[in-house]
């Protein structure tokens, strides 16, 4: 039994599918790719039990077969070959033979029937996203999500969609992003939490996609269908925190500043901040923002002064410089607003003017108490 496939096409898909694989799988067969051949269609699947990803590639074949191939070995050999047609021969005694222009390679395969089946999504509802919109949603939120096993509901992005608009939220209790869109709607109210891992995989694949992404979901699982890929993941079970309750509503001190200037100054200040706290101090007075950082252990310090537009009382407040850099890096506007109420309450970062009428984004960052 044989099939022929382009090495370039195969490698491109294998590298994407490889992002699912774990280094310490409980089931040895999860170290493999599942190859399901149905005449001229090859379906390749990788899985970690919680998330599975399948790609569909056209091949030259008239066979039907189901085998599991060691993933690392297969990627290593395909990566080392120049672009060319490859002939895969499925032989007796569980041997797979790969023939290239100048070589022949044999490796063991396993029975594909032992590979875990994807999660079922029964009684599913459906919603569609433009792939570019879904990518923007993920990029705007996922950096703020947590990875604490004790608070699993925070280790993902909360999707909340209604007939009027949609809201996507991520938080790790130190920072929070609330991203709203007017052009993503649903006739029925939708709420679910997608874990970080499948979202990061989607983020990498969607950069090359122009089509729609169709999402089938129920209370426990979701399927993301787009182009030649299908991603199936288990949703996070639990009630998401009341994020609106932690967003300060009255912030009388408002600073407006060039986003890139603030970002570059925060990056430089971060170099000189304490490696344990990453603290930078913002002194705001008049139309001047002074950014200070100090690492007492190594006697390093920095101070920069930036021009800004400020309306409010003089204030000194400390923040984690890494959080500031992350937030400013994930905004696209030329200038931003920083809204403050007191040195002990969260600051709100948002674009001064939105580049997209369909979106609205605010980012909350908790302060660090100044010494």
Q: Is residue 370 part of a domain?
A: no
> pLDDT digit string (tens) for 225-249?
998 999 999 999 999 999 999 999 9
Contact 218, 37 (CB under 8 A): no
Domain boundaries, position 85: 2-114
Indicate whether 214 and 310 sit together in one domain: no
The kind and range of the H/E element at 133 are helix 131-141
Q: Is residue 52 part of a domain?
A: yes
Indicate whether 84 and 130 sit together in one domain: no
Q: Is residue 349 part of a domain?
A: yes
Indicate whether 19 and 103 sit together in one domain: yes
> pLDDT digit string (tens) for 96-147?
999 999 899 999 999 999 999 988 888 889 999 999 999 999 999 999 999 9
Q: Rounded mean pLDDT of the chain?
A: 94
The per-residue pLDDT for 371 is 66
Indicate whether 106 and 181 sit together in one domain: no
Residue 61, token pair as written in the block: 């074949």
Q: Is residue 146 part of a domain?
A: yes
The per-residue pLDDT for 39 is 87
Q: Is residue 303 part of a domain?
A: yes
Among 114, 135, 154, which residue terminates a domain?
Answer: 114
What's 39's domain CATH number? 3.10.150.10
The residues, ordered by sequence, that sit 6+ positions from 217 with a Cβ below 8 Å of its Cβ are: 121, 124, 125, 126, 127, 190, 192, 223, 235
Indicate whether 261 and 218 sit together in one domain: no
Indicate whether 255 and 204 sit together in one domain: no
Indicate whether 237 and 161 sit together in one domain: yes
Question: At 174, is the pLDDT very low, low, confident or very high (cuts 50, 70, 90)?
Answer: very high
Indicate whether 143 and 155 sit together in one domain: yes
Overall domain count for the chain: 3
């Amino acid at each position: 039994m044989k099939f022929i496939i382009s090495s370039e096409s195969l490698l491109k898909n294998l590298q994407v599918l490889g992002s699912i694989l774990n280094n310490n799988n409980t089931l040895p067969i999860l170290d493999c790719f599942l190859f399901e051949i149905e005449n001229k269609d090859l379906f390749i699947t990788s899985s970690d039990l919680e998330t599975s990803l399948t790609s569909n590639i056209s091949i030259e074949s008239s066979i039907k077969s189901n085998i599991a191939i060691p993933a690392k070995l297969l990627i290593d050999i395909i990566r080392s070959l120049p672009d060319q047609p490859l002939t895969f021969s499925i032989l007796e005694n569980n041997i797979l033979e790969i023939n290239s222009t100048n070589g022949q390679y044999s490796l063991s395969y396993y029975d594909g029937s032992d590979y875990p089946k994807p999660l079922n999504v029964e009684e599913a509802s459906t919603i569609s996203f433009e792939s570019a919109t879904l990518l923007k949603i993920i990029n705007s939120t996922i950096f703020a999500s947590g990875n604490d096993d004790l608070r699993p509901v925070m280790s993902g992005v909360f999707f909340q969609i209604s007939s009027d608009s949609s809201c996507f939220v991520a938080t790790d209790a130190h920072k929070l992003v609330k991203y709203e869109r007017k052009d993503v709607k649903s006739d029925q109210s939708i709420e679910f939490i997608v874990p970080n891992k499948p979202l990061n995989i989607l983020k990498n694949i969607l950069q090359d996609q122009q089509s729609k992404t169709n999402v089938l979901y129920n209370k426990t699982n979701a399927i993301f269908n787009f182009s030649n890929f299908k991603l199936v993941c288990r949703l996070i079970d639990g009630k998401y925190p009341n994020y609106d309750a932690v967003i300060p509503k009255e912030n009388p001190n408002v600073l407006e500043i060039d986003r890139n200037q603030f970002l570059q100054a925060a990056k430089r200040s971060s170099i000189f901040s304490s490696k344990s706290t990453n603290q930078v101090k913002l002194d705001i007075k008049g139309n001047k923002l002074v950014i200070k950082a100090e690492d007492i252990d190594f006697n390093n310090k920095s101070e920069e002064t930036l021009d800004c537009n400020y309306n409010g009382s003089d204030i000194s407040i400390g923040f984690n410089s890494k959080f500031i850099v992350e937030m400013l890096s994930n905004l696209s506007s030329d200038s931003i607003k920083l809204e403050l109420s007191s040195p002990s309450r969260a600051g709100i970062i948002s674009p001064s003017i939105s580049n997209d009428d369909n979106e609205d984004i605010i980012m909350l960052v908790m302060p660090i108490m100044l010494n």
